[in-house]
Amino acid sequence: MRLIMLGAPGAGKGTQAKKIAAIYNIPHISTGDIFRANIKDKTDLGLKAKEYMDKGLLVPDELVVDIVADRLKQEDCKDGFILDGFPRTIPQAESLDKALISMDTKINYAINIDVPDENIVRRMSGRRACLKCGATYHINYNPPQVKDICDSCTGELILRDDDKEETVLKRLDIYHKQTSPLINYYEEKNTLVTVDGTKNIDDITKSIVEILGA
């Protein structure tokens, strides 16, 4: 089972990727994790990526694809994988397809977690994080017992800059311009499946499993 998770920032694709990976016993592959591992291990690819990152530059698509492809060649991916956070653009998707063809394989499904923008803004702007222990809450769905105070360590809860409404709207704008065209890309390849991301977490997982099969 070779899968890609699609969805806007805050749609919950990371959460679903972890759950699906556990159900099918395949690795959950996040590009952020791959980059950190390569940089930590000082691999040739990691050192190349670090050069760009240290200069505040975006890592070129070609290098990103090389790092992802290198990860997909590892033994634990022989029965499948689930990609989270990649590809982000059409050129990345095209390069990924070429890399997979060279490995004599292909993507089975691109799973789109569909959530309206207004839901995402409400969901993310309601988040609160503890300055001390990092625990997270939501003012509507998972509020602390005492307002702005962490249940676990009594640390102060804050609204992170990334979760502020204006930041969320900017991220959504970038997503719609750069990443949402991937929905059409995978639809044309007959690999796209869309699930309702406004349901509760377990129901979303159930919908995905029903599509993929047990």
Full set of structural domains in the chain with CATH: 2-119+166-212 (3.40.50.300)
pLDDT at 214: 58
Q: Give pLDDT tens digits for 143-166.
A: 999 999 999 999 999 999 888 999
Q: List the one residue out of 176, 163, 72 whose CA is nearest residue 120.
A: 163
Contact 208, 195 (CB under 8 A): yes
Lowest mean pLDDT: which of 13-22, 30-39, 117-126, 166-175? Answer: 30-39
Q: List residues with catalytic annotation.
A: 13, 88, 127, 160, 171
Residue-wise pLDDT tens digits, 58-117: 788 888 899 899 999 999 999 999 999 899 899 999 999 999 999 999 999 999 999 999
| Residue 192 DSSP SS3 | strand
What is the strand order of the sheet 157-158 is part of?
136-138, 127-130, 157-158
Q: What is the mean pLDDT of residues 162-184?
A: 91
Task: Say what the pLDDT of residue 55 is.
Answer: 83
Helix, strand and coil percent figures for the chain, each rounded to 5 = 50, 15, 35
Dihedral angle sign, alpha carbons of residues 183, 21, 210, 124: negative
Residue 175 is classified by DSSP as: I
Confidence of residue 54 (pLDDT cuts 50, 70, 90): confident
Its pTM stands at: 0.83
What does the block give as tokens for 21?
A: 């990976």
